[in-house]
Amino acid sequence: MQEHFHFTTDQAKIQKQYAAIFFFVSAQLPSIQMYLQRRNRHLAKQEDAVIIAIHLLGKLLGFSSERAWHRFVTGNLFTDGHFLERSRYNRRSCALRFAIQWIRHELAKRGQHHAYAVVDSMPLELCHSARMYRVKRFQGIADIGLCASKKQWYYGFKLH
């Protein structure tokens, strides 16, 4: 499906998303610039903010392949050829891993809260199944339940 992604998306919408992310990254990057210990930063073809914004946009759009994402970027956002080669882009995004994680955390803190969430649960066993009918601890609070993934009964709590 990602091979045909550029035919089904609006290029203006993607450029607006990129501009919004780039503006946020440019505002946040000076506060962590001192932690990015890199030499020859002044010789870079692209700014760190551009690399981080492009990387975050790729994650936002759901690209899992760096190769497909780079092909999409060079074909839709930087059509004039002024973007890094794929190997250089991958190395720079790996070098900026700390900054990307920090900015993703900041975006998540400021993000919208959705009505849906994914919740995982697991059983929290208090005793073995041989004693579960005569146990007195946590009586009235804990209960007997079925763990569907293990296909076994347990006495205890359901941890979410």
pLDDT digits (tens, 9 = 90+) for 65-114: 888 888 888 888 877 778 888 888 888 888 888 888 888 887 777 766 56
* The pLDDT value given to residue 145: 84
- From residue 41, give the alpha-carbon distance in Å to each of 37, 47, 82, 120, 129: 9, 9, 17, 43, 62
Q: Which residue has the higher pLDDT, 44 or 91?
A: 91
Picking from 34-38, 123-127, 142-146, which range would have the lowest pLDDT averaged per residue?
34-38
Residue 6, pLDDT above cutoff 60: no
Asked if 132 contacts 108 with a C-beta cutoff of 8 angstroms, the reply is no
| CA–CA distance, 154 with 152 (Å, rounded to integer) | 7
Tens of pLDDT, residue by residue over 94-107, are 888 888 888 888 77
Residue type, 37: Q
| CA–CA distance, 147 with 92 (Å, rounded to integer) | 45
| CA–CA distance, 90 with 140 (Å, rounded to integer) | 56
Pairing of strands 152-159, 143-147: antiparallel
> Which backbone phi and psi does 155 adopt, to 5 degrees?
-115, 125
pTM of the entire structure? Answer: 0.60
